[in-house]
Structures are given as C-alpha cells and as structure tokens.
Structure 1
Amino acid sequence: MNFDQPAARNPVDRLLVVGQPHDRIDGPLKTTGTAPYAYERHDVVANQAYGVILGAAIPKGRITRIDASAARAAPGVIAVVTHENAGPVAKAKAITARLLAGPEVDHFDQAVAIVVAGTFEQARSAAHLIRIDYQREPGRFDLARERESAVKPKMEDPADTEVLNFAGAFAQAAVKVDQTYTTPDQSHMAMEPFATIASWQGDKLTVWTSNQMIDWARRDLSEIFGMPRGNLRVVSSYIGGGFGSKLWVRSDVVMAALASRAAGRPVKVALARPQITNNTTHRPATIQRIRIGAGRDGRITAIAHESWSGDLPGGQPETAAMQTRLLYAGANRLTSHRLATLDLPEGNAMRAPGEAPGLMALEIAMDELAEALKMDPVTLRIANDTQTDPEKPERRFSQRDLAGCLRTGAQRFGWERRVATPGQVRDGRWLVGMGMASAFRGNLTMDSAARAAVDARGKVTISTDMTDIGTGSYTVIAQTAAELLGVPLSQVEVRLGDSDFPVSCGSGGQWGGNSATAGVFAACMKLREAIARKAGLMPADARFADGRVIAGTRSFTLGEVAGRAGVSVEDGIKFGELTKTYAQATFGAHFAEVGVDAATGEVRVRRMSGTFAAGRILNPKTARSQVIGAMTMGLGAALMEESIVDTRHGYFVNRDLAEYHVPVHADVPRQDVFFLDEVDEMSSPMKAKGVGELGLCGSAAAIANAVYNACGARVRDYPITLDKILRSLA
C-alpha cells in the first residue's frame, strides 16, 4: 500500500478498539517473569555454552602480544577467540566502532577476546588469565579541548543552514541572549543488558538477541561476516529496554557468533553491567552556543544555534540544533553542527537524539530571553509560534498545536500562580519555583510490512519483525488488527521480532508505533479484501464486526470463510512524498515545580505536568506510560545523569547503577499527562504520530528553569548538581 495521499476515512476511525486504554497483552508474561528475553532462551537450542568477553585495557593503541595459553588450559574452557584466530571480521557500514579489536584498539573496553566454557563461572575465571601487551598511543578525550579542531560533518540533513542575514539582524536586535550551554555524555542504562545466544547450523547462523531493528541487525551481520542475508536469522521477541543503544548489533552478537563457530556449539553471552558503558554506545556530550535577538514585543528577529560534539573517526554528530530549524519563527536564522574526533567509546543514538540535548539548551535560552523582555515565558513562546517551516515558509506543518499545548498545559498546571521574580516563594527551608519549556520531536515514518492471517477458528495472527522494547508494540498492533477485522483482542495473536517475518520499521526514533501499525493496517486491509472475495462479497460493501464479515443480508464468521486452509496475506506501507510536502512533527509543553534547599542547594522536583499534541493516540494507557517514563528520564538528565570522563586514561569512570545516577521512586513526583485531541491525515492511515520520545524533549529544561525561578541560580552546565547551584548563588 502506498501512502502518498492524505488518509481518508477508514475502519480505524470507528475507534472501537484503537484509541482505547487497553492493558498491555504482554503484561502478564513480564510481571510473572515468563517473557523470554534473549539470555533466558534455554529452550531454543540445546547444549549452550557460556562466553565471557574481555575488553581492552587502553583507550587507543595496538595489541602487541596476546598470551591465552593459561586461559585455554583452564578448567571447562572450550575455546578462546581473539583477532588472531577469529577469521575475517569486517566493520558494518552503519556502525562507527569495530566490534572486535585487533591489532588496533579504538577505545577502552573494546572487545579483544572471548572465552567459552561449560559454565559462566569457568569462562569468567579463565578470561582473567589472558595476558595482553599493548602499545598505547596518545588519545583525545576532552570535547572542550578538541572544540577548535572540530569539522563540518557529512550528514543526511545539511550540517549547517542559514536564512537571510543572522549577524546583521542580531546586531540590531533590541534585546539579545548570547549564552553557551553544555550537556554531558550520558549512558542508556537499560534494565536488560546486551545479550545473545548464537548457533551455527552449517553455514547458517541464528542469533537470539536483544535488538531493536531486526532487519538492520541482519544487514550488519551480513556485512561483518561476509555472508548472504538469507543465511542469517535474527530473533528478538522481548527487549528489556534499549533507548537507541540496541539499534545496531553490538559486540555481544558478534563475539557470540565467533565463539559459537570456534566452539562448535551454541554460545550465550551477556555483557556485565560495568562493561556496557564503555563497550557499547552513549549519548555524546555537547557544547551549544545560542544567540537570540528579539524586538521589545518579544518577536524573534534573529536566532542561531551552534553545536559541537565528538565521536570516533567516521562517526556522526549529536544533532542538537535540528529542532531550532523548526520550532520558533524568526526571519534571520543560522544553525550549525561541528564534530570533533574523540577516542572515547562510540557516540550514537539515545532516546530523542538531537532534540533531547538541543532543547536542554534552547529552552533555557528562551527563558533567559523572556526574563530580559520582562515577558511571561508561555506568552513569549506563543508569540513566536508558526504554522510554516521557518526555513522554508512555503512548507506548512501538517498539524501543529504548540500554542494549544502551551495554553492547556499552563491552565492544568496552575501557571498563573508563578511569581516571576526568583527566590520569592518559600516553604520552610525550601525555595519553591516553577519552570516550563516547549516540547518538540520530528515525526519520522519508515516503510513497514506484516503478514495477516485468519484460521478456521476465526483467530487472527499478525506476524512482523517489529520489536517491542517496552513500548507496547504487541498491544497496539493487536488493537489495529482487532479494529480492522472486527474481532476481540483475545482473538488476535501477535508474533514479533523474527527475521523470518516480513520486514517492519523496527523500534526507534519514535517511528515504531505509527509506522508498524500502518504496515499492519495495509496487511489487514488486504486480508479484508481476500476474505470478502472468498465469501463471494464485494470488498467495498463488506464490513467486519463481531467476528463476522457482513454485506447486506449475508453474513459469515471469519472461521467459516477461512476454512481449514485459512487465509493469509502480506502487505506493507510505503510512505511517499507527504513527509516532504508537509513539515511533520509532534509538540508539547512541559511544566515543573521544584524545591531548592536554601542551605544545601539540594533540588527536589515536586510535580511535573505535560500536555502533548501527537496525532491520534493509539492507546492512551500505554502512551501515558511512555510519556511519564520520558519525563522521568528528563528529570535524570536535568539533575543527575552524567557519564564522567577520565581525560587522563580515556574512559567513562562511573560504570554501574551505583555510580551512574538515574531517578528512583523517591525522586519522581506526581506527573500529570494530557493529550490534545488530534488526528494527522498526512502522517499515516492510522492518523497517528510517535510519542515515546516527545515526553523527554524539553522536560529537563523545564526543571532547570524552575530551579532558576526558585533560587536565582542559572545553571547552564548540566546536570544541575548542588555544587553548581551553590557556586551560582555565591
């Protein structure tokens, strides 16, 4: 099915199942511990051995000698694999880092060896017996120090944009903001570690792994091992969180496959928590300079956003200036991205790449502009709203209700009670303040396909390689099929995460829910047509309800029509030019109230509220769950999350959940989430958009602005820790 025209009225619009707050159908499996995650798949293949990966002890240089003799002689050891005996291992084009070091070492904890043994304890013990000599080389580990050497990167979108004359307009602006903000390196810290079971059958490889993008994984493995895609099967039925870290295969997959081939039996591998931070990927740190010029009426006349980040050679920048191209009006504009070479572990996508750190800076700058103007921050943002792309005024937004989010959000939060002057509201020892920020995330779509089938019992089965990373894919896909085929949810079985199924969009970039259900929509519409024709009905006249296909006075159960052979079809959605014709994005408004201890500078977030416009909400319950999780992630980014770089030795020091701080229950306040009633006919036949990342975008800045309102400490260097507050107050 080609989606190249706005969506017309269709069966989903009945909203009998879609749009309703159904419980997650995978919930019972997860709450009882019976959902089969990758490392726990004891049943998929017999005779599994255990692999333990050894990482590089230097951040940059060469391996000059490996002595694995003691490890090979250790009890229970079956094989030891290093670059010396691994065979050809290429680097996938989509992955910046090599997944097996040797002889060159690209970053600290890069995989250099794997030990396979009969038990995990034997493999772990033997891994410590490997002796490796290195020739260390000087490395670059400090973004601030390398900032001047940063270069214009090659990107899919332009690295730089300029409209009219920013410099001239900024120089003449009546009110100006010119500040630099920094965001730190961050780690994904998903609950489930990177884990894989690999098994060879002749020249065919199957991996049961934790991966967000099944077809990408098969592509990457095909490149790495130089083998046909048809000889590879990737299975990822359940994923315990990814946040972008599992978009591409990582060393657990590659090393498990190498180990299985060497051992001649299946091998299972999991990265220990302290390995994940340096062995896999992270969100890169940024330095962002933002300049905004406005008239006394608050209208922006000039806006510039410049961002610097770093990565390994061949990497990509953190695109922190992207949302500034679309969020606010202003005739004279400039954005740029620069990329420095750093010898740290690979920087790559983490939930809402670009917008999440970009709004952490931009939305403080907007708050500072509001203060300079003596203007309410909500009013300022509404004054600079636009219905067209500010860089391409001929391109309108398909749907854009940022102003509605701001007004509704302010009303729900009680923004009118905010005292504009900082430090004026006390509650005992606590200084209390309110802050807000806009939310923005582009609406991305990707082609997606599915197989839809019905059997003699009238049971519907949907099969697609789509994944569920905790977002509720199983449930919204089941809702889509139930709506279109007129059956209850209990009559729908959803099978996900297997490369034997039709290729879907996968999970990532906030595109999963909308794109995957659109692919299922296409398959189910084709199934409706096939069932109608088999029943002798005209497809245009047929309607589906109560497990039956009905036309006029004729009515048949789906099982009757399917018969013993059943009916099965495949189809998918292919997105056309509407994403280019119209600017498509999701919007929202965050509000936060914090308390700052007047003596210690400790910050406690008291409440958070968010109002969002993100197309049709396919399941309000699972969508709310995604948004409160994202808002909590923003709380962490604002106040505590930071991967601390040892710039002497070139690695991230805090490598576990004891030292990399994320919010826990006691940190998370009451959270209010509200979705505006919106459908977007330009987005997909579901008229939906993504929402899982939108809740993160802007939430950290709302907290930062609330801290300033509480105590007058304007901290521009995230995270906002008490030492920075105290320094600012002093």
Structure 2
Amino acid sequence: MNKHVMDKAIGETRLDRNTQGIIGKGVDRYEGPLKVSGRATYAYENLAGEDVAYGFVVPAPIGRGAIKSVDTSKAESAPGVLAVISGDKILRASSQPMAPAAQTIDGEVFHYNQPLAIVIAESFEAARHASHLVTADYEPKQGRYDVKARETVRKPDAMPMEPVNERGDFEKAFAEAEVQFDETYTTPSYHAAAMEPHASVAKWDGDRLTVWSSCQLLETNVKQIAAGVGLDVSKVRLHSPYIGGGFGSKLGIGPDAVFASLGAMTVGKPVKIALTRQNVFQQTSRRGETVQRVRFGATKEGKITCFAHETDTTNSPGNGFFEPSGISSVFLYPGKDRRIAHTIVETDALMTSAVRAPGEATGMLATESALDELADRLGIDPIDLRRMNEPKVNPQDDTPFSSRMLLECIEEGAGRFGWGDRPQKPGTRREGEWLIGMGMSSASRKNSLMKSSAEIEMSPDGRATVRTSMTDIGTGTYTILQQIAAEMLGLPLDQVDVELGDTALPASSGSGGSWGANSAGSSVFVAAEAMIAELAKRLDVDAETLTLKDGHAIAGNRQIPFSEILKGEAITVLGQIEPGKTDEETHQASYGAHFAEVAVNVVTGETRVRRLLTVGAAGRILNHKTATSQCYGGQIWGIGYALEEELVIDTRNGLMVNHDLAEYHVPVHADVPKLDVVLLEERDTHASPLAGKGIGELAIAGVGAAINNAIYNATGVRVRDYPVTMDKLLSQLPDDYLTAA
C-alpha cells in the first residue's frame, strides 16, 4: 500500500500540469445517465421482485414517561403480520455521527413519537394497519420542551469542537472598551429534510447480514448496525451506492437500518423499511435551537478589541453533541481577549445532531448580523469594518493560516454586486410598495482532511477502475474521483470506472463535514501515484520523467500504449491518505462572501430576495460544475434559514407540529432569484495533495445573515429572531411607511 501522511506542504503535482485538461473542468456527472433514467438503485429499491416483507414503526404518543407494558397481541393476529418486535433494545432515534451505537429506549419514552415497536408484515399496508393495533401503558413524566426555560443546563462533550475556547480576560476588556456591543440572536430547530427518506433493506442468510441503506459514513455505520443487532461487524456488509441527500442526517444510521435487520433476522426473509416523512422528522435527528449572545468591544474608530460568542443549544438526555455555533468565531473574528463558549440545555425532544454546516449555519446568522449592527452603530461601512479587522494569524492561538482569501472574496463580490450603490441610510430606496436594500456577510468553513483509502485496478486493456467505500450523497463524488484518476493516469474520462458505497471496498472517509472530495480524492491521488510508479518500473524509467496521456506512457523518445506495458496482466494498487503535521501547524479553512439584494413590501411585510451572489475560495476546484451546484444548494438553503424554515416544537409535550414538507416550509422556485456564484483561483498546498479544501458547506454559512442585513438596509428594522417572517417585520415598520403605501 502506498501511504501519504500530510506532514508538509505539497509541491507541484501532475494535477498542476493538467496534461489531460480534465481536472477542474465542469464535466457531467459520471452517474447522471443512471439517475435521470431511473436505473440508479437507491436503498429501498434493492431486491426488487424478490419475496420480501415490510416493516412499519409504531410511535409512542407521549413526550416523556416510563413504559409499563406493551400489548402486541392484536397486531400479531392481524392478517399478513409476521412478527412484532418490541423491548428495551428498540432504538429511540438515529445514532450520533461516529458513535459506537445508537441509543436504545430501555423502557422509557424520551421524546414524542419515539419508536416503541416494529411491525413486520407481508405488505406495507398490512404492517401500517397493524401498527395501529399495538397499545402500551405508560407512566407519564414531566417533560422539558423549551430551550428558553433552561431547566437543565450541562456542559457538552468535545464533539464536534471544544465547547469553551478562551484567551485573555474578556470581561475585563469588555468593561473597559470604548464601544460595547451586546445583543442576543435566536435560531429555531431545523431539519435536514433530504429528498430520499431514511430507508433500508436487510437480508439475513443465517450467518451473514447484508444491508442496503441510505448512509453517509459506511465505516462507522456498519459498526452501528452490527451493535444494534448484536453481531460481530465482520458478519455485516453495508451498501450505499446512491443516496438521495443526507445533509448530516445520515452520518449516523437511522433507526430503519437496525429495524430492517432485526426484522430480517426474526422472520427469515428480507425486510424493507422506509420511514414515513413524518417519522423521518420525529425519529431520526434535527438541528438544535440556539440562543446566542454576541459581544464586541471596540474603539470608536472600529477596531475590535475583544469578542465573545456564547451559545445555549439543545440536546436530549445522554447526548453530548452540541450545535457548535462558535466554530468559525474561534478564528474568523479578531480580539485579543475572547471567549467562545457553548452550553447544552437538555430537553425531552428528538435528539439533535449534525445538519449541513453544523455551527456555521447557525452561528454566522448571529455573528454576521452582529457585525452589521456594529458597523451601523459606528457609522462605518460593513466592508470597511471587516477590512480594518482582518487578522493576520488565527486570533485564538496565533497559528498561521494555510491560506485565507476572505478579503479577496469580499472585494470581488463588492465590485460585481455594485456595493457602491447600496443605500447609505436604511429605508431610503423605494419602488412603489417595495423598500429595497442590500446586505453582505462573510463566510467560512473549517477544513478537515480525514484518513481514507482507495484502490485502482488497471485492466490489461489499459482501462482503470477506482474502488472505495466512499459515498456520493448527490455532491458529485463519482465524477470527481473519476476526474482525478483520469488526470493522474493520462486516461480519457470514459476509460475510468468508479465503484463506491460498499464496505467490502477499501475503507474511506465517507461523506460529511466538507471533507469528502478532498479526503477520498487524495486517496485516489496517492493510489494513482503508486500506479504510475509501477508503470515506470516496468519501463525502467524514473516516474518523474514519465508523461501519461491518452492511454499512453511517454518516456524519452518512446510512446507506448498501456496495454503493451501490461502484457495481458492487470495491476492493482492501494493508496491511503492521512492528516499530519500541516493540520497541526496551520489553520485551514475555506472562505467566501455573500451579497444579497431584497425587496420588502411595506403593506404585507413580505420579503423577496432579488439578487444573491456568493464568492468563494476553497483551494483547487476539482469540478466547477459540481462545486457551483453545491453553492447553489447552500444559497437556497440560506434563503430558507433567513425567511422560512422553523421546526416548531410544542412546548407542552415536545410534538414536532410541522413534521412534513406540507408545513415545514423550504424555498421553492418562486422564492429563489437568479443565483450567481464565483469561485476564485486558489491553491492550498497545506490542505491536501490536491491543494483543495471543502466547499459543500461553505456556501450556506452566512447567507441568511446577508439577507437579514439587506432587510435592515431596506427597512431600518432589525430582527434578531430567525426566521425573518412577515409578522416580525410588520410590527416594527414605521407608521409613515404604512400611510405612504
């Protein structure tokens, strides 16, 4: 195996030579034809035509209590029912990412509509019908459902960051500051609401379990399934070749994976379970609510001297994960004296976990709005305030940045968007009933390189196949890995195949945290280097002098087709990437800037986003088409967080009131303007052998704040409680606006 540990910055590589002209190019999706023709087999579609059974989850109709007894007799005698599975080992929700196993109910109800039992029947309809026949006797307990009540407060685990980061004496510095800014911002709970619901098919062969499920991190997901059913992980194989979106909600297994497996092991035939949309909302995971206090101490000229970002967020009992709203605050904002801290407010609602850009997506709704407010109070342009407060090193620990093009993104965006035309005074630009304004925000996303491996096989005819257990959650992983292999090996794209999503393949990083393309792609890069070394060895030349192009090796005055070098023999190599010293010695992140123009109706309070621009810098862009598509998704989701999305939890019992896509509002075509994305040229040689960084989650970070800042510029109304809905604006619009309309 060829192994590369990222201990030093990468030099020039074959990707820089770009001999094939493939890397970075916006090529079409490798698996696109399969998806648009319906031939890509998603989890629930496996074993089509076979004799399978179906499962349906029985939910508990209370918010908190002890389970005294469960009566399954009526359900078991219903037509078509094969088994009803209940007991303490039923999962109560999804597993936390990278946890050894999901939590079980252990005789308790921890949240409303928590799984209580699973009905396995010959048809979906029979299982659903019988689920209503299961009854239980409960001993109700007092529940805690309101984050603002702060009934139980506890310290989080160090997942996904240290919960408290301090430097100097913030309180002293803040008390002495010439200008003191102190405001609180709130964000509601959100749901990932992926297009494909959590779904699984399981087959038990008496000794081995095969599961097809919608999962993001196969290496830990297969262990979670094994733990849930009491098998050694060597007895379980997991497939996830196509995933219809995850956004973090599938980093840990959904309960369906274990339920389908238990069903198959119980009834002796394959079992399919797809959670209903309502159960996806109520039995998997969600993003926690936040209450964020942001404080800046500054000089009258606008120099920030101290900074604090303190977050209350939620989770259920036994869960140490927290929404890390200060994850970018640690390095993005200056201040010699600083405090970034998080506290869990324990509630008896569905567990909270990672959703796209955990931390930045909520935290920058607060901090980027706060910076806009501070600029307004000081009478300084928001961009000028950022310019004068740009740190030269990580302000938390003085670590040098591997690269940081934040100001370049801001300057490029300001020029393209026409920032100079922004109304200098809020509420002064009007078109009939509509008030017009502009806003902006910074964007950042910490970069991670994860351990990952990949295999490349070159067949005797010179065709290459890339194999890794990496997943593609719709981001373009198949295509990017194909491009990297083709560019490195000098092959046309159509001569490279990619196999993903199977735990029988080399272990991969999985998809999450914007580390997927960089980590899995780097393992393909390392494997390709090993393949090149083998080809050079067979030609008895130095690998550095070898040029590979169009399926030929060129060395000296010879141009030899791969098939001639291989002489009827296949070559298989394995590559592995691991993070190293560059991760410790530099601070790595992707950066960007968002610019929004909105129109707010003075009669209805309706907000329309008229223009939205994102400028990003994320190292080498591997595929401009897929990267731009990821940014579009982030922008659209940012519109949702700014104006629409709110998972409403009934504070009387923990019921998620709007638990489907009929009531949980997300942006539709009419809400989304023409989107503009610009990706700047950059190479971060400390980040990975690809010199790239994550971009998938960068594009959501700060979008909502840019829209909220534009709303203020349009109306003069500051809303600190997201989403910025019509009722929150109407109550604050000045009377003269209303009478003028």
TM tier, smaller: over 0.9
Deviation at 1:86, TM superposition (A): 7.4
Q: Which residue of 2 aligns with 1:573?
A: 577
Cα pair distance change 1:47/1:537, threshold 3 Å: farther
Distance 2:35 2:240 in 1: 15
Of 288, 294, 297, the residue aligned with 2:292 is 288
Cα pair distance change 1:464/1:416, threshold 3 Å: same
Is the Cα contact below 8 Å between 1:180 and 1:287 reproduced in 2?
yes
Is the Cα contact below 8 Å between 1:58 and 1:107 reproduced in 2?
yes
Is the Cα contact below 8 Å between 1:591 and 1:608 reproduced in 2?
yes
Deviation at 1:90, TM superposition (A): 13
Deviation at 1:84, TM superposition (A): 6.8
Corresponding letter in the other structure for 1:358: G
Deviation at 1:286, TM superposition (A): 0.2
Cα pair distance change 1:178/1:91, threshold 3 Å: closer
Matched, 1:140 2:169: no
Q: Which residue of 1 aligns with 2:374?
A: 369
Is the Cα contact below 8 Å between 2:712 and 2:718 reproduced in 1?
yes
Of 641, 665, 675, the residue aligned with 1:637 is 641
Distance 2:695 2:199 in 1: 27
Q: Which residue of 2 aligns with 1:259?
A: 263
Of 666, 673, 677, the residue aligned with 2:677 is 673
Deviation at 1:536, TM superposition (A): 3.9
Cα pair distance change 1:562/1:226, threshold 3 Å: farther
**CA displacement 1:473-507 (0-9 Å, x = unmatched):** 00000000000100011011000000000111110
Q: Which residue of 1 aligns with 2:530?
A: 526
Deviation at 1:545, TM superposition (A): 0.8
Q: Which residue of 1 aligns with 2:337?
A: 332
Q: Which residue of 2 aligns with 1:419?
A: 423
Cα pair distance change 1:610/1:95, threshold 3 Å: same
Corresponding letter in the other structure for 1:341: E
Q: Which residue of 2 aligns with 1:714?
A: 718
Corresponding letter in the other structure for 2:359: G
Distance 2:194 2:567 in 1: 45
Of 7, 11, 16, the residue aligned with 1:13 is 16
Structure 1 stretches of at least 4 aligned residues deviating more than 4 Å after TM superposition: 84-87, 89-100
Is the Cα contact below 8 Å between 1:447 and 1:574 reproduced in 2?
yes
Distance 2:507 2:10 in 1: 23
Superposed, 1:387-536 pairs within 5 Å as: 387-393=392-398, 395-536=399-540
Deviation at 1:85, TM superposition (A): 9.1
Distance 2:560 2:577 in 1: 29
Distance 2:678 2:89 in 1: 57
Q: Percent identity?
A: 44
| Comparing 526-535 and 667-676, the one that deviates more | 526-535
Q: Which residue of 2 aligns with 1:274?
A: 278
Is the Cα contact below 8 Å between 1:100 and 1:255 reproduced in 2?
no
Q: Which residue of 2 aligns with 1:229?
A: 233
**CA displacement 1:551-570 (0-9 Å, x = unmatched):** 11233222233344411111
**CA displacement 1:102-145 (0-9 Å, x = unmatched):** 42122222221111112111111111111222221111110000
Matched, 1:193 2:197: yes
Cα pair distance change 1:428/1:481, threshold 3 Å: same
Corresponding letter in the other structure for 2:583: T
Distance 1:322 1:527 in 2: 39
Is the Cα contact below 8 Å between 2:229 and 2:262 reproduced in 1?
no
Cα pair distance change 1:40/1:635, threshold 3 Å: same
Q: TM-score, normalised by structure 1?
A: 0.97
Q: Which residue of 2 aligns with 1:319?
A: 324
SS at match of 1:114: strand
The CA RMSD over aligned residues, in Å, is: 1.8
SS at match of 2:554: strand
Corresponding letter in the other structure for 2:6: F
Is the Cα contact below 8 Å between 1:454 and 1:460 reproduced in 2?
yes
Distance 2:89 2:356 in 1: 37
Q: Which residue of 1 aligns with 2:667?
A: 663
SS at match of 1:559: helix
Distance 2:142 2:524 in 1: 52
Deviation at 1:508, TM superposition (A): 0.3
Matched, 1:249 2:268: no
Corresponding letter in the other structure for 1:152: K
Is the Cα contact below 8 Å between 2:101 and 2:225 reproduced in 1?
no
Q: Which residue of 2 aligns with 1:170?
A: 174
Is the Cα contact below 8 Å between 1:304 and 1:335 reproduced in 2?
yes
**CA displacement 1:385-423 (0-9 Å, x = unmatched):** 112010112x10000011101111111111100012111
**CA displacement 1:69-103 (0-9 Å, x = unmatched):** 2211112111111117979x998895599555342
Is the Cα contact below 8 Å between 2:541 and 2:555 reproduced in 1?
yes
Deviation at 1:53, TM superposition (A): 1.1
Distance 1:499 1:91 in 2: 18
Gaps of at least 5 residues in structure 1 are none
Of 35, 41, 48, the residue aligned with 1:36 is 41
Is the Cα contact below 8 Å between 1:100 and 1:112 reproduced in 2?
no
Cα pair distance change 1:84/1:165, threshold 3 Å: closer
Distance 2:422 2:94 in 1: 58
Of 319, 328, 350, the residue aligned with 1:345 is 350
Distance 1:91 1:552 in 2: 56
SS at match of 1:467: coil
Cα pair distance change 1:85/1:279, threshold 3 Å: closer
Q: Which residue of 2 aligns with 1:154?
A: 157
Cα pair distance change 1:247/1:486, threshold 3 Å: same
Is the Cα contact below 8 Å between 1:715 and 1:728 reproduced in 2?
no
Is the Cα contact below 8 Å between 1:96 and 1:313 reproduced in 2?
no
| Comparing 76-85 and 360-369, the one that deviates more | 76-85
Q: Which residue of 2 aligns with 1:105?
A: 109
Corresponding letter in the other structure for 1:376: D
Corresponding letter in the other structure for 1:686: L
Matched, 1:354 2:354: no
| Comparing 532-541 and 377-386, the one that deviates more | 532-541
Of 1, 5, 12, the residue aligned with 1:2 is 5
Q: Which residue of 2 aligns with 1:543?
A: 547
Corresponding letter in the other structure for 1:687: A
Is the Cα contact below 8 Å between 2:5 and 2:577 reproduced in 1?
yes
Is the Cα contact below 8 Å between 2:94 and 2:284 reproduced in 1?
no
Is the Cα contact below 8 Å between 1:245 and 1:280 reproduced in 2?
yes
**CA displacement 1:622-674 (0-9 Å, x = unmatched):** 10000011010010000010000101111211011110000001100111100
Matched, 1:49 2:62: no
Q: Which residue of 2 aligns with 1:384?
A: 389
Of 73, 80, 87, the residue aligned with 1:76 is 80
Is the Cα contact below 8 Å between 2:94 and 2:283 reproduced in 1?
no
Distance 1:238 1:263 in 2: 27
Deviation at 1:189, TM superposition (A): 0.6
Cα pair distance change 1:84/1:429, threshold 3 Å: closer
Of 588, 591, 601, the residue aligned with 1:587 is 591
SS at match of 2:572: strand
Number of matched pairs = 726
Distance 2:178 2:410 in 1: 26
**CA displacement 1:17-76 (0-9 Å, x = unmatched):** 111111111111112222111011135x93221111112212221222222122111121
Distance 1:270 1:362 in 2: 39
Deviation at 1:224, TM superposition (A): 2.6
Distance 1:85 1:155 in 2: 27
